[in-house]
Structure 1
Amino acid sequence: MSFLRGRRRGAKKSRRPWSLEPWQELPGGLERWVRESMDWYVEQFGDGPLRRDAVRPSDLQPSRWDGSEEAARELCVQVCERVGVPADDIRFSFRLEELRTAARSRAARLVRWGLEPHAESADPERAARARALLAITGLPELMSVAETKVLEKDGFEPELTVLSGTESARELYRCQEIRLAEGEQRAAALRAAHTEWDADFVRSTGAIWIDLRRWPGGKPTGYTTSAIVLSENSLKNPASVVAHVVHELGATATSVRSA
């Protein structure tokens, strides 16, 4: 595992796709970045989308709403048609809280299972690094293997694979940064890590978009679609479904066009 190779003190840090740090400073500031981004959008998609009427949740609210996942999926398809994104390229589901908890728990196990064999290595330096990382990691395991397998059998293996893979990579990177830090930098890194570990992140958002086709670094996963996962709470209100899906379709449309 490359994360066990260590890094020379003072060596330049390499950017990781799962790092929370910005990839680069905004050139010319925020205003210039927004302006150039809008120019890029027009270049990629034309100015047609800018001339369409705005999509308002009230425009697509069904006359009858029973709060079922089937009704919500039909509404998601209508939203896709309205904004011009192929619905066949997207997996819609409404179990965000379960999936994020399962993915984080699976990631915690992946980190542990990946490090434990190295902790028993005959190479003292490799073993010491692995043991140090095991002592640092605090990613919580909130769902059992059996509970996670239920979600897999329900058809959520792609979402769980990508989410847990990304989360485990971020955790390893986070722990490695803590291990290499010293003094106040280490204390600050630990405080930030505890914020991540303790966060009730499953309730922090109503929907997420996942590119199931690629890992964060760009390597193909073998899956062929993206996914929009909404909170079960969104089923209480069709306007909430519309608002969340429209927001997430922005990322989907850019990804589909650039694929």
Structure 2
Amino acid sequence: MNLIGAWRRRQRERDLLYGPKVMLPGGPEQWIEDSLDWLVGRFGVEPMRRGPVLPSAFVPARYDGSEHAARELCLRVCAWMEVPDDRIRFSFRMEDVRAAGRSTAVRRLRAEHPELAGISGLQATMPAGDVDGLAAAGYAPEIAVLAERELIAEVKRSTELRDATDPERRAELYERAVAVWSAPAGSGSRAAWLDLRTGGHDGTAVLLSATTPADPSAVIAATAHELGHEVLWGYHLMDRNRPDAEAVTDLFAVFHGFGIFLANQAVERVPGRRRMRQSLGYLGERGASDALAAYCFRRHTLWPESLLPVLPAELDRAVRIRTFARLATLVKRAEIDSIQEGAPLR
């Protein structure tokens, strides 16, 4: 038995489960510090002054898991982050809207690009009548934007397949295409932000999964992340094509006090084991815990407050251990620096 090989496989599995889902330039620890510097430079330190948001205080005691209650929670996150909500459409039918968008894209592909219809394996999973009904219910802007996005991607995918002459290249493209064709529209995601203005409509939309309202912490974590897109992408403050764009959006939520929610939601707890949630965050449990620690440490250096706010009861055990360990490292490093500079750490 190759023990070293088995150990390496377990380490890769743990990294996939707990680590960041995207490459962070310079490594997670340095990336967090550099990105927090960027956020402070862009938004100042006032967002951190409000302190960490505690689930026990932020989630209303009367929360009943209804869509109405979840929408009110979304608006509460908007208010905390000081993001105007009058032009944001919150809804909880992401799966249906994505299916409608893909189905519309498939029908448009057949009508507008008949030469690619025999190559594309994308399937319409929602009858045209149901798509029309969903549009009539008020989701026409979201369906139109998603359909356009799906159509552009599928035309490019099918054209590359059609034009590929090298057998290996064609096999590679086909394998990638099948992975898309065989997965439901939007699978692997529990929330999405759409700029409806790209389709000539008004405002933006935050789509959340139909299962999200049952868990208020998931509603808050997903909304805080998507509002990062609203600010960073919607106001063109960051290039959305940069490799770490989604991770910066996660950090934006931590920067505004929602680190507990992102860290706790990074890994789903199920009886007897742990598993990843469906792309609820990109920093992963380790990255979100380290970001929360960096956030707490920066607040301590800025204001004469406790290094450890009232967090322990609010954090999952694994998150608490990781966060406190990272805090200890930051404190030790600061103490060494202060000794060398002759100024004690307060």
Please report the TM-score for the alignment, with normalisation by the length of structure 2. Answer: 0.57
The residue type equivalent to 2:122 in the other structure is L
The 1-side partners of 2:90 and 2:214 are apart by 16
The residue type equivalent to 1:238 in the other structure is P
Structure 2 residues not aligned, in runs of 5+: 1-22, 238-346
1:93-172 equivalence runs, <5 A? 93-116=91-114, 130=115, 133-172=116-155
The residue type equivalent to 2:53 in the other structure is V
Larger relative contact order (CA 8 Å, sep ≥ 6) = 1
1:203 to 1:62, Cα distance in 2 relative to 1, 3 A: farther
Could you say which residue in structure 1 is the equivalent of 2:261?
A: none
The residue type equivalent to 2:146 in the other structure is L
The 1-side partners of 2:33 and 2:159 are apart by 37
The 3-state SS of whatever aligns with 1:232 is coil
Could you say which residue in structure 1 is the equivalent of 2:47?
A: 49
Please report the TM-score for the alignment, with normalisation by the length of structure 1. Answer: 0.74
Deviation at 1:54, TM superposition (A): 2.6
Contact 1:60 1:79 in 2 (8 A): no
What's the CA shift string for 1:214-258, capped at 9, x where partnerless? 2xxxxxx32221111111111212222112111211111213433
Deviation at 1:146, TM superposition (A): 0.3
The residue type equivalent to 2:132 in the other structure is K
1:212 to 1:252, Cα distance in 2 relative to 1, 3 A: same
The 2-side partners of 1:29 and 1:170 are apart by 31
Structure 1 residues not aligned, in runs of 5+: 1-25, 117-129, 215-220
1:1-259 equivalence runs, <5 A? 37-116=35-114, 130=115, 133-181=116-164, 182-214=166-198, 221-258=199-236
Decide which structure has the larger Cα Rg and report it: 2
The 3-state SS of whatever aligns with 2:211 is helix
The 3-state SS of whatever aligns with 1:143 is coil
The residue type equivalent to 2:120 in the other structure is T
What's the CA shift string for 1:38-96, capped at 9, x where partnerless? 44433332232244423344432111123222221111111100111111121000001
1:27 to 1:207, Cα distance in 2 relative to 1, 3 A: closer
The 2-side partners of 1:39 and 1:224 are apart by 33
The residue type equivalent to 2:141 in the other structure is P
The 1-side partners of 2:81 and 2:39 are apart by 15
Contact 2:196 2:204 in 1 (8 A): yes
Deviation at 1:203, TM superposition (A): 4.2
Deviation at 1:212, TM superposition (A): 1.1
The 1-side partners of 2:92 and 2:24 are apart by 38
The 2-side partners of 1:251 and 1:223 are apart by 18
User: Which stretch has the larger CA shift, 234-243 or 162-171?
Assistant: 234-243
The 3-state SS of whatever aligns with 1:75 is helix
RMSD: 2.3
Pairs aligned (count): 213
Contact 1:60 1:242 in 2 (8 A): no
Contact 1:209 1:228 in 2 (8 A): yes
What's the CA shift string for 1:98-147, capped at 9, x where partnerless? 1111111111111111113xxxxxxxxxxxxx2xx222111111001100
